Structure 1
Amino acid sequence: MVVEKLAEVTKKWFDENVEQFNQEITNEFLNQAHLSPQTLSQYRSALYHFFKFVHDQCGNKSITDLKPRDALRYQNFLINRNLSSSAVKFKRSSVSSLCGYIELYYSDEFPLFRNIYNKKIPNPAASKRHEKVPLTEEEFFNLIEVLTERKEYQMVAYLLFTYETGCRRGESRQLLRDFVNAEKAIDKKTGEEKPYYFTSEIRCKGRGKEGKLRKFPVSEIAMEALKKWHEERGEDDCPYMFVKKTKEGKVNQLSASTFNYWCTEIFTEIVGKRVHPHLLRSSKATNLSLYGGKSIDAIQALLGHNSPDTTKIYIVKDGEDELDELYE
């Protein structure tokens, strides 16, 4: 199945072509203080795409003049381009959120306006483009061994840190270089050292510009890999652990997309099955639960979920163990 990628809608095009009220209400909506930078970026892209559709296929009407049939047409437009169900749902929810904003704050000007994504418009059916197959401990450490032999010390450090902490890619890239000088965590009751280190606060997924600030526990093996990369990297002015040197010799923090590239173009080839950054998080949860015998509560604490139900989603089971119980 070929996905027809939506062309980028630039701010310049948006400012020059979109109906005036649609511009104003979108910018006002995106200026809400409680939205995180990442959420803002995602909403901006989704709404720009929506108003490009409105411009091209709905006569560039004001959003207050659109009807549920227009919302359905947009949803079908996305589905017919083979976007994943999650991508379609996010673009739909972005438009719905904007409509809710208008309903709440502009009811005096548009008393008859209602959210164009009403309950009668069904969400797209869930679809899985790729089966989620976590890495086993053997596959993961074989990957580490191959990269170590290649002297790809930054990749090794990234993998061990991310796998051991369950960090998302945007969290891993925030790790500061001076973490290699951290002392081991101390047991508050006994005063003894614990077998892990704590990072400084890292901004995680959550509401608002600050998001959720967390300190991640890092194992000894991951710390050793980080120290090795720190040593091999040499001196530079960039405070972040994971970096890239430009042609001009400047050292910058790695982009999240670089982790994607490593996973899809390098790690996948070595392992022999699809690897992506978020798979490391799921692999750690699965291996801790199914093979390490760790509790859902412990895994929930590691991943930083508010609910154990969310944690369970990350643990991939094949279902045969449960079936075997029936015949024991």
Structure 2
Amino acid sequence: MAGITLQAPDLVARIATILRAAGSSAEEADTVAANLVLANLSGHDSHGVGMVPRYVDAVLEGGLKPNTSVKVQLDAGALLTLDGQRGYGQIVGAQAMGLAIARARELGSCVMALGHAHHLGRIGHFAEMAVAQGLVSIHFVNVLSRPVVAPYHGGDGRFGTNPCCIGVPLPGQEPFILDFATSRVAQGKMRVAHNEGRQAEPGTLIDERGRPTTDPGVVVVPQPGGGFGALLPFGEHKGYGMAVACELLGGALTGGGTWHRPADQARAVLNGMLAIVVDPHKLGTADAFGREALAFVDWLRQSPPAPGTDGALIAGEPERAARAERQRHGIAVDAATWAEINAAAAKVGLAAA
């Protein structure tokens, strides 16, 4: 079977149909599908429509609850504690950020703790919500699923890819959106590489015996010994430290929980997120902030390009370039991923597309 290239609206329609068949309302299905396709448009196929087979499995096993809203557990002004109740992360995450944004605009800042959300997807989406309102946001996220990242100097998976994200509005310019996994690469990128038959970069993975490997399948499918390999943290001890911080802040502090048990086969992916949202105007530094931020970004852009490069980029620029390219030429979905999506559709009674 060959892969397929679709324009974004057509891909959204197909994914929304599957999600409706899996139990979501039309509005929820459309919102989740649009969010997934936006990840593909942004160049992050790891967080795009390739997640649908896992979502369908999670719904069928009861770990993901369609048509579920965020629940307020604590409202203490600038402090919000929220429960995602295993709802779609694209839904409860946006609801949680909407509450945090409103509170930051009112009070100047908000610390929002969200636990028990199903897979939140691309965390940069939530930072984009904040910067669109002129707000700064910082996000620490943990992942409750089969642990796929090894500690620095460790030999097996002990925690998830635990993303960190920072969004900063830049007056009159596109925002700074830093969104990264604390592993060398995202787990979903290894799924995509495995499906496309590509090897991983050296220094990215270890196999189930703790040895270096470039085979992405070691973290995607069970290995001959019955276990899995693991991703490595980025930046050696520095990325490892950031990953632990995301587990402690996104998991422990939010009340969503941390991973400290043997791996299981559950398909649900739960996230906790600690978000800090700040209004520069309420802080009293808006004028200096805008002036200094633009001056610094301009200073960076004046750096001469390194040989073989187009010069320094600002976080968020690659995603915006990818969106423009894929809006024009469509989104390519490899054959293996498209087959998995069609298999997921069959599980909820739909014919293959």
Asked if these proteins are the same fold (TM beyond 0.5), I'd say no
Structure that is richer in helix per residue? 1
Work out which of the two has the higher radius of gyration on C-alpha atoms and give 1 or 2: 1
Give the shorter-chain TM-score range: under 0.3
Query: Scaled by the length of structure 1, what TM-score is found?
Result: 0.27
Query: TM-score scaled by structure 2?
Result: 0.25
Q: Tell which has more relative contact order, 1 or 2 (C-alpha 8 A, sep 6+).
A: 2
